[in-house]
Amino acid sequence: MKDYPRWRDELTDQLFKAILLLKSEKECYSFFEDLATINEIKEFSQRLEVARMLSKGSTYEEIAHKTGASSATISRVKKYLNYGADGYKLILGRLSKKKK
């Protein structure tokens, strides 16, 4: 995992610490409903599913059909999946272990 990004600051630290304090899926829904628009939340959800599908070897066409993501979004997610801070890999690994 890379060091902290250049865009790290006190307010971003506060946000991430707040997220880490959430204790249930219900609390996440309540917090994120107040924090972000429904469209923003749906976009985050879509990107995570795109990353999951890419990691499983799905094609762009399959991903676009299932998620509605544009090829630009799929390409961007693929870039970060392969060359980013490994956040997608970290969470996808944990989600995969939790399902088992």
The residue count for the chain = 100
| pLDDT at 100 (0 to 100) | 72
Q: Each residue's pLDDT tens digit in the chain (100 positions)?
A: 567 788 999 999 999 999 999 999 999 999 999 999 999 999 999 999 999 999 999 999 999 999 999 999 999 999 999 999 999 999 999 999 987 7
Residue type, 25: E
Q: What phi and psi values does residue 69 have, to the nearest 5 degrees?
A: -70, 145
What are the structural domains of the chain? 10-99 (1.10.1270.10)
| pLDDT at 3 (0 to 100) | 75
Q: What is the pLDDT of residues 24-41, one digit of tens each?
A: 999 999 999 999 999 999
Distance CA 81, CA 84 (A): 6
| pLDDT at 1 (0 to 100) | 53
Give yes or no for a contact between 24 and 50, defined as CB atoms under 8 angstroms apart.
no
Q: 67: Cβ–Cβ under 8 A, 6 or more apart, which residues?
A: 46, 49, 50, 53
